[in-house]
Amino acid sequence: MFPGMDKRAVEAAMRKMGVQQLNVDAEEVIIRLKGNGKEIVIANPSVTKVSMMGQETFQVAGEFSERPQQSQQQQQLFSDEDVKTVVAQADVSDAEAKAALAKVNGDLAAAILFLNDKR
């Protein structure tokens, strides 16, 4: 961090100034850019939350890539919990539950009814 300084001395100085650091266990960081329809995606990032003088900031490091921004319709309309609920209620596989949820735009009841009517 500071060339020529001992790591412990730097940590002690930061504690004296009230700076706290916490590592965040993240698997992906997505930054949506305004205006140009793109996203910056950082996979397997190193993320640190820094609290100093009442403000919190995040430091992110890692390999990044750009991609077109995903629209709301492209984003998944249902959670893993929704899939589990449909699997349990309709007695179907995960793949069948996901397909049914996608067909009915994430509506749990409609997905269960759709799968039960298929039988």
What is the rounded CA–CA span in Å between residue 12 and residue 10?
5
Residue 70 has pLDDT above 80, yes or no: no
For position 58, what pLDDT does the model report?
94
**pLDDT single digits (tens) 106-115:** 889 999 998 9
30 and 52 in a single domain? The answer is yes
CB 97 within 8 A of CB 83: yes
12 and 49 in a single domain? The answer is yes
Residue 38 lies in a domain: yes
Residue 94 lies in a domain: yes
For position 73, what pLDDT does the model report?
44
18 and 40 in a single domain? The answer is yes
85 and 49 in a single domain? The answer is no
Confidence band of 1 (pLDDT split at 50, 70, 90): low
Domain that holds residue 84: 80-118
Residue 71 has pLDDT above 60, yes or no: no
% of the chain residues with pLDDT over 90 = 42
CB 70 within 8 A of CB 39: yes
87 and 52 in a single domain? The answer is no
What is the rounded CA–CA span in Å between residue 77 and residue 96?
15
Single pTM value for the model = 0.51
Number of domains in the chain: 2
Residue 34 lies in a domain: yes
87 and 108 in a single domain? The answer is yes
- N-term to C-term CA, the chain: 64
